[in-house]
Structures are given as structure tokens and as C-alpha cells.
Amino acid sequence: MTDHSNRHTGENVYSCSRCEKCFSSRSGLRQHKNIHTSKYKCTECGRCCQSDKALAIHRRSHSGEKPFECTVCSKRFITAGSLARHSRTHSGEKPYKCHVCNKAFNLSGSLNRHMRVHTGDKPYKCSLCNKSFSRSSHLQRHNRCVHNNRKPHHCPYCGKLFNINCYLTRHVRTHTGAKPYSCRHCSARFTWHDQLKRHLLKSHSEGAWLTCRICEKKFSRSGHLKDHLRRHEGVKQYVCSECPKRFCTAGELKYHQLTHSDYKQFCCGLCGKYFKRKVTVKSHFKRCSGKPGFSFI
């Protein structure tokens, strides 16, 4: 396979022997290696750059200099390339298109990550359990969730603990009712990004559905399609540590494991009774609030 075709498929076949970062072409790897031996080193953070010009641009991150301004929202950027990429959020331009499913992206990196859905490439491997991931962020999340039991982020409303701050941010919306995701075509707003994505697909035909090759059911997320395909294939890779039961998804396993635990994290705000599952406390709350003689006043 040629370097050119690697760029289209998103396959990273050239690995750096110093840091194990992978690239789709020899030239990309060769250019990257200059970073490890470069004489252009930042005196503030020690980062190595490929040229004097690149070092000058990098120093702007320390000085706060942002010479490029967006004409729409006045947001400023360190480089012209960053401004060009940002401008696409206003114009809606998506110049990078997947040749397999025609899904379009505004960033080349987003297309490269998307291509791993089709190629199955998982270049990021956990050094502790050898599990592989298609994105570095997924590997980082895996390390925090599986190999690190610290949960430093707590909810100010209910005290629930989280090991990742973004999980806390999303959880807090269940208390505040915040809807940070707005449709650019209409006035609709959503709590979750997935809801916005489905809305754009269903109401404005923006984006591309992911279709099951067996039953043609459509999905907005590749992860949901993968979970669905496991059901067709009978694959149950998630095994309960307490009993022989197996499950298709991690969510199903987590839900099942509550049967082996006495931990009850969901509390009824009316009577103070605790429950293991959110769906149980919701149905209980409806019954509790409907008791004769009960009043919110």
C-alpha cells in the first residue's frame, strides 16, 4: 500500500522508534523525527520545533500573542491555519470527505480518526493490559477509569464522584437542565451532543447515517452500530466477575453488576429511600408524589 493511499484510509503504518507515534507516510515520520533532534528548542517549556519559524510561532503560546482575528466572532488565534479551521464552524464548510460513506468533516484529523471506523485500525495500546484503542483520548479515559481508581471530581448537587471532569460536567446537566448544544438551522437546543447529531440527521438531513449491513437499521454513532452488530454476531465479550453471565456491551454488564452489590446511590427526594438503579427511583418518585394527601406546598 502506498503512502498516498494510506492518507485516504487513515492507516498509520510508520512508527517513531523514540515515542511510538504513528504516521501514514515516510515523509511524515521523517519530519516528525526532527523534533527529537532539533536545535530549535523553547527555553520556557523545552519543546523542540522543526524550524526557527515554527519556534517563533510556538513562543506565541507563552506570550499570549494572537495576531489572527475571526471577522465573525472576533475570536483570536496564534496561526492563520487555526483561524482557517475555526472559520469553518461559521461557514459550515466540510472539505474532507470519507470515500467509503461520504461523511464530511471540517478537519483532516477528524477524517483520519473517522477512517479507523472502516479500517479497524487501533494504534493506541494500553501499556498495562495491552487493550487497543482508535483514539488517544479513549486510551487516556481507559487508563483513568480502569487502572486509576481516584475520583477527584464531585458533584456539588448530589456529591457523586467522577474520575474525569467532563463526566462531571455532563452529569451536572441532569441537575441544572442546561442545554448547551443548539441547532444552527432552527431554535432547537439539546442537553447532549448525540441528541443534536440525531436532530441534524433527522430534521435537516445533515451528515450521514451509519447503516447495519445485516438489517439496515440506522445509527448516528459508530459505537452504537458496533454494539448492534455484536447482537447479530452473538458476541458477548463482557463477562461478569461474580457469575458466568456475559453481555454485548459494557453498559449492560454495569447494569447487571448492581445485582451483586448492596450499593444504592439513587435517593428519593420525597421520602429518602435509596435505590440501586435510576429507573427504579424515577418510577418510585412518581408513585411517592402521587400518594393521597401529599402536597409540594
Under 8 Å between Cβ of 181 and 190: yes
Q: Compute the CA torsion angle 140, 146, 151, 157 (nearest 10 deg).
A: 90
Under 8 Å between Cβ of 153 and 163: yes
Distance (Å, rounded) from C-alpha 76 to C-alpha 83? 8
CA atoms within 13 A on the CB side of 283: 5
Residue 265 has pLDDT above 70, yes or no: yes
> In this structure, which amino acid lies at residue 96?
Y
| CATH architecture of the region 1-65 | 2-Layer Sandwich (3.30)
β-pair partners for 152: none
Element (H, E) at 175: helix 165-176
Over residues 123-179, the pLDDT tens digits come to 888 877 878 887 777 787 777 767 776 777 888 888 888 877 888 888 888 888 899
Overall pTM > 0.75: no
Q: Could you write out the DSSP letters of every residue in 6-40?
A: HHHHT---EE-TTT--EESSHHHHHHHHHHHH-SE
- The mean pLDDT of the chain is 80
Look up residue 109 and give its three cell numbers: 484529523
Q: What percent of the chain has a predicted confidence (pLDDT) above 90?
A: 3
Distance (Å, rounded) from C-alpha 254 to C-alpha 260? 11
Where on the phi/psi map is residue 258: left (φ > 0), alpha (ψ -120 to 50), or beta? alpha
